[in-house]
Chain A
């Protein structure tokens, strides 16, 4: 596979994944851009991986989780608050709590926890693969998901009461 072929098919899914991670289209673009530049520069190594797709997803996730690394966070921070101007399309089936609130609660989770939620509930990956992407044990994935869900549930209770 060449880099061009990879980008043809994988760039859009990666960008969607980054939107779910960051919750913001601009940050997502920066994140994907930074990762894909490195992918392109190191393409031979990426292509040798068993699954280049997973390898790149791991790079992107690390970049996102690791606040110390990479310059993209600094650039984003300079830009200030995440762009709130883009409204999500309305949804007719409203549950007890406005479901868009869950989206804003996600942004308060630690990044690693948010990443596990995205990988499981958006990408629908098995826990073993999530563990591989995050470079941790399967048990750690599970505990981090259950902690994240507990936090979200607590927000629900607070919003409903």
Chain B
């Protein structure tokens, strides 16, 4: 009966609804004003580029680069986004500088020349690869080797991982970033939580928290908890890579949909909050230019993929690239035909987003 009372109460209050005429006029007026403002921002160039930062993740700018580069961008407005496909390398790192020395997730963000959408390709951290100067080892060792052990430098860790990934895949990497868990936590909270749709439930071995299968919106601390989970998942770090892709997709979606991109006040608050947590180097062309791409993507829904791999055989300790699928996949990536590849191999795409 309480249900009936509720229905009746809602129906009785329908007459509270104001007329739509004045509201519609107000909406049009405000939208026109904001559109104008947005165009001014776009002309500003640098500002919009900064917005895009949030779309891709957190590009970590080395202090010696960030100052002059911002000034440069402010001085030369106008669209300078690079033509052609763009690849961005994101490394998810456990711990905070200066201890950060393990890259738990390696994610290559590919934006095709037609700007239809972003592809998130994760490279398994246990993949055996030739690391320039260090021989055959696990992919995530490249970060540790590069960063050094006594006083790890994430910028150098990134650089060696970038060379390793570039040689493995044969693609040019235009920019990159190192994300610490602290940066992820701040970013997530600042955008008001990120929606994730999990294909299976995940129990945190760190906090005991249960993340149910299905869609949920997570705050910063919960997101970091989820992103760290690997043990107890059926496919271990493959599943964690998938979680990272799902999270990144949710973040991109959240940022493109929300008003983070259009509200300068929120944006500057966010950048201020993230500022001190960021380190590491962009590649050329300037990472900020690339980030301007985000608002131009036709679809806010990125496609998540794992690099095709096979389990270790014989005495091998590492995952290996799949001799059947990987060459075809990498060719598609290099020739900017990932869309076709995905159509031929729908089973390789993350179902949940």
- Considering the complex, which residues of chain A in the window 107-161 have a beta carbon less than 8 Å from any beta carbon of chain B? 117-118, 121-122, 131, 135-140, 149, 152-153, 156
Is residue B347 within 8 Å, beta carbon to beta carbon, of the partner chain?
Answer: no
Is residue B272 within 8 Å, beta carbon to beta carbon, of the partner chain?
Answer: no
Contact B15 A41 (CB under 8 A): no
The answer to whether A100 and B300 touch (CB under 8 A), given A36-B27, A37-B31, A88-B15, is no
Q: What 7 pairs between A and B have smallest CB-CB spacing?
A: A137-B214, A122-B10, A40-B31, A121-B6, A36-B27, A69-B192, A68-B192
Q: Contact string, B1-41, partner A, CB cutoff 8 A, digits 1/0?
A: 11101111111111111101001101110110011001000
Chain B's closest residue to A148 (CB) is: B6
Q: Which of A11, A36, A41, A89 contacts B12 (CB 8 A)?
A: A89
Contact B10 A118 (CB under 8 A): yes
Contact A37 B27 (CB under 8 A): yes
Q: How far, in Å, is A110 (CB) from chain B's closest CB?
A: 14
Is residue B80 within 8 Å, beta carbon to beta carbon, of the partner chain?
Answer: no
Q: Which residues on B are within 8 Å of A, measured CB to CB? A: 1-3, 5-18, 20, 23-24, 26-28, 30-31, 34-35, 38, 192-193, 195, 212-217, 257-259, 262-263, 299-300
Q: Which of A7, A45, A103, A149 contacts B9 (CB 8 A)?
A: A103
Interface size on A, residues (CB 8 A): 53
Bound-complex Cα distance A69 to B191 (A)? 8
Bound-complex Cα distance A11 to B18 (A)? 11
CB-defined contacts of A15 to chain B, threshold 8 Å: 17-18, 20, 23
Contact A37 B216 (CB under 8 A): no
Q: Main secondary structure on chain A at its contact with chain B?
A: helix
Q: Contact string, A26-54, partner B, CB cutoff 8 A, digits 1/0?
A: 00110011001110111001001000000
Bound-complex Cα distance A19 to B16 (A)? 7
Q: Which residue among B23, B192, B216 has the maximum number of chain A CB atoms within 10 Å of its CB?
A: B23
Contact A121 B7 (CB under 8 A): yes
CB-defined contacts of A2 to chain B, threshold 8 Å: none
Is residue A60 within 8 Å, beta carbon to beta carbon, of the partner chain?
Answer: no
- Considering the complex, which residues of chain A in the window 70-94 have a beta carbon less than 8 Å from any beta carbon of chain B? 70-71, 86, 88-89, 91
Q: Contact string, A7-29, partner B, CB cutoff 8 A, digits 1/0?
A: 10001100110011001110011
Contact B17 A25 (CB under 8 A): yes
Chain A's closest residue to B262 (CB) is: A41
CB-defined contacts of A102 to chain B, threshold 8 Å: 2, 5-6, 9
Bound-complex Cα distance A70 to B8 (A)? 31
Chain A's closest residue to B14 (CB) is: A16
Chain B's closest residue to A150 (CB) is: B2
Contact A59 B257 (CB under 8 A): yes
Bound-complex Cα distance A48 to B298 (A)? 10
Chain A's closest residue to B30 (CB) is: A37
Bound-complex Cα distance A23 to B19 (A)? 16
Chain A's closest residue to B217 (CB) is: A135
Contact B17 A121 (CB under 8 A): no
Contact B215 A70 (CB under 8 A): no
CB-defined contacts of B12 to chain A, threshold 8 Å: 88-89, 91, 99-100, 103
CB-defined contacts of A66 to chain B, threshold 8 Å: 192-193
Chain B's closest residue to A36 (CB) is: B27
CB-defined contacts of B24 to chain A, threshold 8 Å: 7, 11
Q: Which of B8, B17, B299 contacts A19 (CB 8 A)?
A: B17
Contact A29 B10 (CB under 8 A): no
Name 30 interchain pairs, CB-CB below 8 A, sorted by A: A11-B23, A11-B24, A12-B17, A16-B14, A24-B16, A28-B17, A28-B18, A32-B27, A36-B27, A37-B30, A37-B34, A42-B257, A45-B257, A59-B257, A69-B258, A69-B259, A70-B259, A88-B12, A88-B16, A89-B15, A91-B8, A99-B12, A100-B12, A102-B6, A117-B6, A131-B215, A135-B215, A136-B214, A139-B214, A149-B2
Contact A29 B7 (CB under 8 A): no
Bound-complex Cα distance A7 to B212 (A)? 37
Q: Which of B7, B10, B11, B31 contacts A41 (CB 8 A)?
A: B31
Q: Which of A33, A136, A138, A156 contacts B23 (CB 8 A)?
A: A33
CB-defined contacts of A89 to chain B, threshold 8 Å: 12, 15
